[in-house]
Structure 1
Amino acid sequence: MYFWRGQDLTEGNAQVFGSLDYAHSTGLYAGIWGSSELGGTEYDLYAGYAGSLGDFSYDIAYVDYNYPNSGEYTDDGEYRDLQEVILSLGYAGFSAAGYFGVGDYGRGDDSVDNEDNYYTVGYAYDKYGITVGTWDRDADDTNYTHVDLSYALTDELGFTVSKVVDSDDLSEMEDNDDALFVVTYALSF
């Protein structure tokens, strides 16, 4: 499944994705990520800077999400692409991140301001992790919060259970929905 921020975007269907990344010793990095998605494709372009000072880690990135032939379209026939600036901080197993909507949803005359933000806090110890994520969307009554519990059996094989624990009245998520169980296997070349 395409598991993203507590959601199954492919409605239980299989999905394949991959990335091509470059990282420099200074902490600068860039890449492209692509996936097969229900009804089309997605590709994301990103660049950022990451580093650490002892147990303290930091990362700032810009991500441009693109949906060339799938999903919700504007009146001009273009998908509502979006951009985010992501700030992540970590210390001794604890983490916090903010995903700040910038630019517009979509392109051209039918675009609208992206004022949606998403936040996470988490803790990881050895092979175990917990993350709480919540949306702060511009549209009223559309936010939700989810909790993810994860376990990494190996460096390649991991498991996650995710559950929406709170949702606003107009959110596409409901806190009584079933939990999601996600199995991931990563291949490195």
Structure 2
Amino acid sequence: MTNKATLLLCTCAALLSTHAVSASEHSVSANAAASSNYFWRGITQSDDGAAVSGGLDYNHESGFYMGTWVSNVDFGDTSSTSYELDFYLGFSGEVNALSYDVGYIHYAYPDAAGDIDFGEVYGALGWRNVSLKVSYMTHAQSDSSTEEDMLYVELSAAFPVFTDAELGLHIGNSSGDTVMEWTGEDDSYMDYGVSLSKDGYTFGLVKTDLDADDDLKVYVSYAIDFEL
């Protein structure tokens, strides 16, 4: 996402063979994207401005994976940070027609005026075109006296449409004391999304039921992935 070698006991031919088998067990890929807006759980992370992002991923045939991802951010007057740097690891696989994914992600903001990093554990189940994912905050760095607590439950679906295009549907619910601290409203809210993607291009619509941020918003993005 090497095994202990008895290299001194191997011939050169065996060494090459072992290396070829080992290399096939691992893969490293990279991704890059540009978007007219960066949304996270229905809320802009770039002050409704453009965002450029990129990441690296390591995968093992056992299902273990790990990676990192970075994007510019703009939280307006609430923070002086200019970028987000994520680190994650987990394990995914499939049993019969049921897919699963469990892991941990750390959200870091290295140049923030204060320490606003936080981390979450997550678990997801997928069946055919539908997936259900639950994320729970494990810790957060904050000067607030509010108890840090946040749960996010999301249901997503993806369906092939037209010619090699994909229609994505999403609904999510954020709840907990941290939600109230971040939004200044209730301790829970819903977010909704619809997207149409083809050949790396995506056109999407995003909306929340927050009073201060309930407008229907539009974004366009382009993303590429490649093996290293």
TM-score, length of structure 1 as denominator length: 0.83
Given candidates 47, 51, 60, the residue that maps to 2:93 is 51
Show the 5 A alignment for 1:33-44.
33-38=69-74, 39-44=81-86
Contact 1:134 1:144 in 2 (8 A): yes
Show the 5 A alignment for 1:30-179.
30-38=66-74, 39-70=81-112, 78-103=114-139, 105-106=140-141, 114-126=148-160, 127-138=166-177, 141-154=186-199, 156-164=200-208, 166=209, 173-174=210-211, 177-179=214-216
Q: Which runs of 4+ in 1 moved over 4 A?
A: 109-113
Q: Partner amino acid for 1:114?
A: E
Q: Partner amino acid for 2:195?
A: S
Larger RCO (CA under 8 A, 6+ residues apart): 2
Identity rate, percent: 31
More helix by percentage: 2
Shift of 1:46: 0.4
Deviations 1:83-134 (A, max 9, x none): 000101110111111011102x117x97875321111012221111211011
Distance in 2 of aligned mates of 1:25 and 1:112: 42
Distance in 2 of aligned mates of 1:60 and 1:151: 27
Contact 2:159 2:168 in 1 (8 A): yes
Mark the runs of 5 or more structure 2 residues left unpaired by the alignment.
Answer: 1-36, 75-80, 161-165, 181-185
Larger radius of gyration: 2
Distance in 2 of aligned mates of 1:176 and 1:28: 37
TM-score, length of structure 2 as denominator length: 0.69
What does residue 4 of structure 1 align with?
Answer: 40
Size of the aligned set, in residue pairs, is 173
What does residue 183 of structure 1 align with?
Answer: 220
Distance in 2 of aligned mates of 1:97 and 1:106: 24
Distance in 2 of aligned mates of 1:44 and 1:20: 11
Contact 2:46 2:72 in 1 (8 A): no
What does residue 169 of structure 1 align with?
Answer: none
Q: Partner amino acid for 1:53?
A: V
Mark the runs of 5 or more structure 1 residues left unpaired by the alignment.
Answer: 167-172
Cα RMSD (Å) of the superposition?
A: 2.1
1:119–1:136 distance in 2 versus 1, CA, 3 Å: same
